[in-house]
């Protein structure tokens, strides 16, 4: 073999080795990041490069939920004339809770609106959903004026009347219905207000380089207080009071979460959202949404954007926060404070 042939062969070997190395590097780079069993969250955050659209001075300690005031637990409220049509039901005699339950309609909706019947408990001197073993001296039926499905309409009001009359026939009661035209008009006005003040905020976290596996997303989010939700691909930050809607929600591709081998699933974006009217103002939900998005962006090498893939700057987030404070004030002035029972029912 000549020197030229040997030289060409050597060059070929070097090129082939370089190609193999490049392929291995590219394969490793494109492989989704996996959850680590021994990673230190603090050191991970400290090792991440800063970014002009992320606030690098934030750290995990800033997300300590213990610093947020806890809203007081609330009891299940009686019907609220602010958001419901209420029809009083007079009785000829006291009715047992068992008889009332037997007379209740099979469904608790009139069209798309929640329908309910409450009784006045003689012993407890309060309105409540009928319960076995109790006695009731009066009842009231109610249907919600509006929700995210729209305003109460004529057909739904008529269904409310029919259901109430059927109940009254069984318990020997006499209903007193408000005038339909007035209630439907009131429903439209409430629906208009709700439509203009219904805020559901969301940030999108997008991967800069390597994609993420579901386990990596779950591990990273769990460090900030997120727990697994009922639906695959969803995690939540629970409210301070048990039984209330979550403060924040995080969601990613359901198919990736349900894959036979999740370690091979590649996730390139996830959404973090806040349903404003459902969460008490004292939970500082927007502050926590903002901090969660920024901390995840730091630890997962991502960027925070809106739905249109536009980077969210500090100024943009400040502006959103200021507008949100005005919204909170407006809802409170209307007796529909965010997180209240009435607000949660109206904005649902």
Ordered per-residue pLDDT tens for the chain, 348 residues: 565 455 545 545 444 554 544 554 445 555 677 777 655 443 443 343 344 343 434 444 444 544 544 444 445 557 999 999 999 999 999 999 999 999 999 999 999 999 999 999 989 999 999 999 999 999 999 999 999 999 999 999 999 999 999 999 999 999 999 999 999 999 999 999 999 999 999 999 999 999 999 999 999 999 999 999 999 999 999 999 999 999 999 999 999 989 888 888 899 999 999 999 999 999 999 999 999 999 999 999 999 999 899 999 999 999 999 999 999 999 999 999 999 999 999 999
pLDDT of 3 reads 53
Do 103 and 231 lie in one domain? The reply is no
How many structural domains comprise the chain?
A: 2
Largest CA distance in the chain: 117
Do 109 and 171 lie in one domain? The reply is yes
Structural domain containing residue 167: 84-195
Contact 177/296 with Cβ under 8 angstroms? no
pLDDT of 310 reads 93
Do 183 and 131 lie in one domain? The reply is yes
Contact 329/232 with Cβ under 8 angstroms? no
How many angstroms separate the CA atoms of 196 and 42, rounded?
42
Is 262 part of any domain? yes
Look at residue 24 and give its three-state secondary structure: helix
How many angstroms separate the CA atoms of 99 and 89, rounded?
15
How many angstroms separate the CA atoms of 344 and 239, rounded?
14
Do 54 and 152 lie in one domain? The reply is no
């Amino acid at each position: 073999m000549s020197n030229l042939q040997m030289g060409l062969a050597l060059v070929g070997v070097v090129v082939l080795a370089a190609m193999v190395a490049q392929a291995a590097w590219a394969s490793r780079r494109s492989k989704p990041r996996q959850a680590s069993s021994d990673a230190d969250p603090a050191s991970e955050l400290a090792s991440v490069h800063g970014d002009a659209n992320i606030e690098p001075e934030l750290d995990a300690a800033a997300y300590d939920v213990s610093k947020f005031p806890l809203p007081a637990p609330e009891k299940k409220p009686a019907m609220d004339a602010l958001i419901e049509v209420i029809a009083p039901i007079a009785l000829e005699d006291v009715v047992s809770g068992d008889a009332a339950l037997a007379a209740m309609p099979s469904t608790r909706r009139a069209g798309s609106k929640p329908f309910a019947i409450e009784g006045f408990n003689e012993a407890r001197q309060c309105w409540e959903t009928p319960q076995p073993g109790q006695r009731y001296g009066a009842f009231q039926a109610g249907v919600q004026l509006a929700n995210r499905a729209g305003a109460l309409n004529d057909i739904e009001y008529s269904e409310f009347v029919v259901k109430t009359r059927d109940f009254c026939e069984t318990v020997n009661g006499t209903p007193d219905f408000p005038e339909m035209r007035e209630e439907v008009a009131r429903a439209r006005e409430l629906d208009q207000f709700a439509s203009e003040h219904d805020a559901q905020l969301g940030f999108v976290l997008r991967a800069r380089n390597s994609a993420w596996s579901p386990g990596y997303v779950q591990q990273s989010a769990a460090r900030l207080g997120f727990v697994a939700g009922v639906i695959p691909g969803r995690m939540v930050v629970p409210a301070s009071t048990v039984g209330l809607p979550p403060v924040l929600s995080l969601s990613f591709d359901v198919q990736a979460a349900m894959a036979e081998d999740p370690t091979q699933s590649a996730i390139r974006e996830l959404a973090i959202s806040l349903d404003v009217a459902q969460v008490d103002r004292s939970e500082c939900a927007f502050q926590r949404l903002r901090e969660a998005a920024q901390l995840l962006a730091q630890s997962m090498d991502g960027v925070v954007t809106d739905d249109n893939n536009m980077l969210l700057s500090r100024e943009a987030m400040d502006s959103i926060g200021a507008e949100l404070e005005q919204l909170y004030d407006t809802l409170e002035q209307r007796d529909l404070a965010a997180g209240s029972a009435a607000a949660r029912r109206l904005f649902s």
